Structures are given as structure tokens and as C-alpha cells.
Amino acid sequence: MPAQQRDDFPANIKNTLAARTGHACSNPSCRALTSGPQADEQRATNIGVAAHITAAISGGPRYDRSLSQEQRAGIVNGIWLCQNCAHAIDVDQTRYSVAVLYHWKLEAEYAAHLNLGKPRSTTPNVTANLVPLETIRVVQDRRDSRWNTGSNGETPIMFVTFHGTITEVSGNAIRVVGAEILTPPVDAEMILICNNHDACRPQFLRPREVANINLTFILPSENIPPTEEIWTSSIILIDQFGNRHELPNCQFHNPFKL
């Protein structure tokens, strides 16, 4: 069987990722410079890595099968790190999630923007949270939000489908990178999220853009209501900054119990 092909970044994207951070590691606990001179004045040393936020190949850290090859090798999926931090994010995927890495990337690029052209002595404090806390607002469409039962082989499961709209409110380009369902707290699998860009995973929402959003969760059978027609829970959407936007008291009806 032929080896899988990695969707690596081309040289121009690697160079742009490095330049957008000022050739500094994007990890906020590191920020090490990644380039400098060698003893040979004709040469320079680079210890920076254009790392993939979602893996370049199936089976890799945080691999996202919904991305195309172009998206996987595109600049949106890249983050500039030193070699140590690039290794660390791939051996601890739980700690370094997609949302965390997006947050690092945007913080590092914004810090470089603030520092651009300023002497070191007047460098502003860039350790604070520089990204907006409220980026999106979500409204549920209760008419089309439903729950139903099914099975995974012989195991009964519950499907919960959320329909609504999402609005960008911070004036930034925003991407939803995760979703959770609460009340009761369960491990839920998000199997679909889409908007009016007609993509399985949303493209970035433009500033003030309004889009449709659809979420489907698979829950364990113990969450299936015994008789109730309406099932109530809370939905949380997570943006690329790591912000968590909760929409409480969402209601889901069972069309077969109406």
C-alpha cells in the first residue's frame, strides 16, 4: 500500500506564518525568537516550525477529515512555533486543542501588530488577553430543533439536532471550532456543523455576518426522556479564540410524539 501523502505547507506560507509573529514562537508562555545569526556571517539559524493546527495526514494530532487538501495546507491551518513547542503540542493533544492553538495564533499575531515599529523600551504589555470575549450571538430556531432515538448496532442512542442562526458581533473574522451540549453534562459527539457558506465545517464569518448553523449531537441512551415531548439543554459554541458562548434552555421536540 502506498504511503499517505502529507499536506505540507509550501515555502511561501511558512515564510508568511513566521513573519506574521515577528519570527517569535506563538506559545504565550514561550515567545522565543526563532531566527538569528550563525557564527558564519553569511548564514542565519532558524529554529521555528510552521506547525499544523489540524494534522497534515490522517492519524496525526487533531486530524480533521472534513478539511480539503488545500485547507489542510493553507495558512489558516498553520501556527508558527519554536521546535520545542511544536513537539509539545503534538504529544499532548488534550491540552493543546484546536481552539487553544487558534487562540495562541491570533494572540501572537496581534502582539506582533502592536509591537511593529516600536522600540523595545516602549513595547506595550502584550501578556493580557487581547482577543474579544464576545464574538458571536446565537439564536435557536425551536421549530426545527429536535430530538429522536436511534441505535448504534444494538446500543440505543439519542440524537439531538440544533438549528438556529449565528451572528458575528465583535468586528473580527470568527470561526466556530467546537460545540458542546450540557444539562445533563454528557460526552457528546458533534457530527455536523454548517452555515450558509455551504461547507461541512464553517468558513470564517465576516464581521457582522449572519449565518445559519446546524448541530447534531449523539448522546447516550440514559438521556432519553421517558415520556416528555420537549427535551431541554444548553448549547455551548467555542470560537477560535477559545471563548465559550453558552445558549441556555434550548428546547428540542420529538416529531414522533406530537
Q: Quick one: 140 and 251 in the same domain? A: yes
Q: Does the CA dihedral 125-127-130-134 come out positive or negative? A: negative
The pLDDT of residue 129? 47
Report, as an integer, the average pLDDT of 80-87.
95
Which pairing describes strands 155-168 and 244-253: parallel, antiparallel, or unpaired? unpaired
* Residue range of the domain that includes 115: 11-122
Report, as an integer, the average pLDDT of 214-221.
81
Q: Quick one: 150 and 218 in the same domain? A: yes
Among the residue ranges 104-108, 183-187, 226-230, the one predicted with the least confidence is 183-187
Q: Quick one: 107 and 140 in the same domain? A: no
- What's the rounded Cα separation, in Å, for the pair 193 and 212? 10
The pLDDT of residue 188? 54
Q: Quick one: 91 and 175 in the same domain? A: no
Q: Quick one: 164 and 253 in the same domain? A: yes
Res. 123: pLDDT tops 70: no
Single-letter amino acid code for the residue at 56: A
Q: Is residue 6 part of a domain?
A: no
Q: Is residue 148 part of a domain?
A: yes
Single-letter amino acid code for the residue at 235: I
Res. 232: pLDDT tops 50: yes
Report, as an integer, the average pLDDT of 53-81.
90
* CB 24, CB 36: distance < 8 Å: no
Phi, psi angle pair for 149, to nearest 5°: -110, 160
Q: Is residue 1 part of a domain?
A: no
* CB 150, CB 120: distance < 8 Å: no
- When pLDDT is cut at 50, 70 and 90, the band that residue 112 belongs to is confident
* CB 80, CB 18: distance < 8 Å: yes
Res. 130: pLDDT tops 60: no
pLDDT in tens, 153-208: 777 888 888 888 888 888 877 877 778 888 665 555 554 454 544 444 555 777 88
Q: Quick one: 160 and 243 in the same domain? A: yes
Q: Quick one: 146 and 239 in the same domain? A: yes
- What's the rounded Cα separation, in Å, for the pair 230 and 6? 46
Q: Quick one: 153 and 116 in the same domain? A: no
Percent of the chain's residues with pLDDT above 70 = 83
Q: Count CB neighbours of 55 within 10 A.
A: 21
Phi, psi angle pair for 66, to nearest 5°: -75, -15
Q: Quick one: 176 and 105 in the same domain? A: no
Q: Quick one: 75 and 26 in the same domain? A: yes
Q: Is residue 84 part of a domain?
A: yes
Q: Is residue 140 part of a domain?
A: yes
The pLDDT of residue 121? 53
Q: Quick one: 143 and 96 in the same domain? A: no
Q: Which of 94, 122, 150 is the last residue of a domain?
A: 122
Single-letter amino acid code for the residue at 10: P
pLDDT in tens, 40-52: 889 999 999 999 9
Q: Which of 122, 156, 188 is the last residue of a domain?
A: 122
Q: Quick one: 154 and 199 in the same domain? A: yes
The pLDDT of residue 200? 45
DSSP-derived 3-state class of residue 11: helix
pLDDT top residue among 204 and 214 = 214
In CATH, what number is assigned to the domain containing residue 156? Answer: 2.60.40
- When pLDDT is cut at 50, 70 and 90, the band that residue 244 belongs to is confident
Q: Is residue 23 part of a domain?
A: yes
Q: Which of 122, 144, 164 is the last residue of a domain?
A: 122
